[in-house]
Amino acid sequence: MDQMPDALVAMRDVAISFGGIHAVDRVSIELNGGEVTALVGHNGAGKSTLVKILSGAYQHYAGTIFVGGKEVAIGNPRDAKAYGIETIHQSLALADNLDAAANLFLGRELRTRWGTLDDIAMEAEARKVMRRLSPHFERFKEPVKALSGGQRQSVAIARAILFDARFLIMDEPTAALGPQETAQVGEIIRQLKADGIGILLVSHDIHDVFDLADRICVMKNGRIVGTVRVADVTKDEVLGMIILGNCPPSAIPGPGASVATNEERGRQR
């Protein structure tokens, strides 16, 4: 286990606790480029916390993170972005009072040679990337609070892919969307995957997960129950993992798998 992982992004024995509660408890996970890994589990299972560690929202965590086989320290969002890890947060993390271009470039503004903000160049770039995601989008002058849920989601995704991300974290990207917009986001995810970008998809929606993901990783009480390929598993088995922590035979069990499962499995064999 001590050799360097060859996955694009790997977390090993990562843990964090808040006030004595282990929100994430010695989690190890490997994530590949060109692959969608879904991270599923109940509310409070630790999905969002794990994702936030990877995106640099927490400074103090135990364990190690590898990007491209090299050990890295991610202490703030800037670090994560420097390693090509971009995050689309569940709340979208948009400054509602600013327009789309200002949000896309927030923290990484384009500037003129006098050091002032180059709003026109930023708008031009924003138009380019938004054309790819949402061809009919024209409301570049309005604050993003005036936009629809799907448009806001497009802005959040555009921000993540604008800077040549290698790895994308999407926290509940379809939770606030209607069916049509959900399909649109699914299309974008497939497109990004085809471009070789690795995606970690955090989702509640088991249908979405089966639709989009290649692998499923289930968390419960801050620990990994198991990881399984979508092709090898049924929805009911995944629900069993989420609710009871039961690992089906096709899954690679993690430390969070309930002990009963192993006994059961022994009996079945």
Partner 1 sequence: MVQSASPTVRFLKAAELDSRMLGMIGALAMIWVGFHLLSGGLFLTPRNLWNLSVQSASVAIMATGMVLVIVTRNIDLSIGSMLGFIGMVMGAVQTDLVPKLLGFEHSATWAVALAIGLGLGIVLGGFQGLVVAYLGVPSFIVTLGGLLVWRGAAWWITSGQTIAPLDARFRLMGGGPEGSIGAGWSWAVGALACFAVILLMAGGRVRRRKFRFPLRPLAAEIFLGAAACTFIVAAIAVANAYPWPIGSVRRFAEANGISLPPGGLFIAHGIAIPVLIAIGVGVVMTFVATRNRFGRYVYAIGGNPEAAALAGINTRWVIVKVFMLMGFLAALSGAISIARLNAATNSEGTLAELLVIAAAVIGGTSLAGGAGTIAGAMLGAVLMQSLQSGMVLLGVDTPLQSIVVGAVLVAAAWLDGTYRRRV
Strand partners, 22: 17
Per-residue x/- track, 7-46, partner 1 (CB under 8 A): ----------------------------------------
Please give the DSSP secondary-structure letter assigned to residue 3. Answer: S
- Rounded to whole angstroms, the Cα distance separating 122 from 107 reads 12
Site for partner 1 contains 175 (CB under 8 A): no
- Residue closer to partner 1 (CB basis): 91 or 148: 91
Per-position DSSP letters for 120-180, written without gaps between them? HHHHHHHHHHHHHH-TT----SSBGGGS-HHHHHHHHHHHHHTT--SEEEEESTTTT--HH
Q: What is the chain's percent helix, strand, coil content, to nearest 5? A: 35, 25, 40
Site for partner 1 contains 121 (CB under 8 A): yes
Nearest-approach distance from CB 54 to partner 1, in angstroms: 13
- Rounded to whole angstroms, the Cα distance separating 185 from 22 reads 33
Site for partner 1 contains 59 (CB under 8 A): no
- Residue closer to partner 1 (CB basis): 71 or 96: 96
Site for partner 1 contains 207 (CB under 8 A): no
Interacting residues toward partner 1 by CB under 8 A: 55-57, 76-78, 81, 87, 89, 91-98, 102, 106-109, 111, 116-117, 120-121, 123-124, 141, 143
